[in-house]
Amino acid sequence: MRRITPRTAASNTKVLIIVLVCVGVVGLLGCLACGGFGFWAFKTATKEIEASQTAADAFFDKLKANQVQQAYDSASADFKSQQTLAQFTAFVTANPILTQHTSRNMDMNGFNLSAVNNVKTATLPYTLSGPTGNKNCTIILTDSGTGWQVKSLTIP
């Protein structure tokens, strides 16, 4: 018959240290993976925010220069299907802040970026300021792979 001798305390300590080191390494790798994913997501979102804001600013610049036809032409097909050039021109005329604003600020707190079926959508709330005061508006842009285009522009 074989005699079993219990492990010594030093042997148990070694096993415990090995287990703790393995758990620590796995935990550290998990943290690094999460941090890397978070950094990648932040960089991607930042690029999309900048690209959508650039497209919105180009649209507002055309309106500010009273280039209503060019602004309309640069909008998405969905935008154009919702209103004709004449309707858009009437909307711009009814809201002179669109052509007379001297500054505009985007409210990052209300910014929203989403993607459904490979179509990205950005909602950008702006405050337009001019000689007649301030006016809030919301511009929604979409990008289905061909660049950001205005989908809608609303002024409450």
156 residues of the chain, pLDDT tens digit each:
566 666 555 667 777 778 777 777 677 666 666 666 565 555 666 788 899 999 999 999 999 999 999 999 999 999 999 999 999 999 999 999 999 999 999 887 888 988 888 899 999 999 999 998 999 999 999 997 889 999 999 998
Number of separate domains in the chain: 1
Contact assessment for residue 112 and residue 16, using Cβ atoms and an 8 Å cutoff: no
Reduced to 3 states, what is the DSSP secondary structure of residue 18?
helix
Is there a domain that residue 1 lies in?
no
Is there a domain that residue 4 lies in?
no
pLDDT computed for residue 43 by the predictor: 61
32 CB neighbour count, 10 Å cutoff:
10
Is there a domain that residue 33 lies in?
yes
Is there a domain that residue 2 lies in?
no
Is there a domain that residue 17 lies in?
yes
User: Cα(first)–Cα(last) distance of the chain, in Å?
Assistant: 91
Domain that holds residue 28: 9-154
The whole model's pTM is what? 0.73
pLDDT computed for residue 86 by the predictor: 97
Is there a domain that residue 3 lies in?
no
pLDDT computed for residue 105 by the predictor: 93
Reduced to 3 states, what is the DSSP secondary structure of residue 132?
coil
pLDDT computed for residue 36 by the predictor: 63
Contact assessment for residue 119 and residue 49, using Cβ atoms and an 8 Å cutoff: no
Is there a domain that residue 75 lies in?
yes
Where residue 107 sits, what CATH number does that domain have?
Answer: 3.10.450.100
